[in-house]
């Protein structure tokens, strides 16, 4: 099964917890900044996501959501 990882860049404060906890290196911190001046988390390898939701559970800002991809559009 494939998963979608959505990150609300404006909620993210760049703590990096999601980057550290992800077992598949799906997320990294962006070089860009959000409106609050933080390097926000960004998805770099969504195809590697196993849907464990560790990033979603650890995010203190509720900025990350993981859910199964809908098949067939």
Q: Which domains does the chain show, CATH number per domain?
A: 3-68 (3.30.70.20)
- Asked if the model's pLDDT at residue 70 lies above 70, the reply is yes
**Entry pTM:** 0.91
> What's the mean pLDDT in 14-20?
98
pLDDT of residue 34: 97
Instruction: Give me the residue label for tokens 């933080």.
Output: 38
- CB-side exposure of 7: number of CA atoms within 13 Å? 23
Tell me the mean pLDDT in the region 15-35: 98
CB 7 within 8 A of CB 41: yes
Give yes or no for residue 73 having a pLDDT over 80: no
């Amino acid at each position: 099964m494939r998963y979608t990882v959505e990150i609300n860049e404006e909620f993210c404060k760049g703590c990096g917890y999601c980057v550290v906890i992800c077992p598949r290196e799906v997320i990294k911190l962006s070089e860009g900044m959000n409106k609050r001046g933080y390097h926000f988390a960004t998805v770099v390898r969504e195809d590697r996501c196993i849907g464990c939701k560790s990033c979603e559970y650890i995010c203190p800002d509720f900025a990350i959501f993981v859910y199964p991809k809908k098949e067939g559009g």
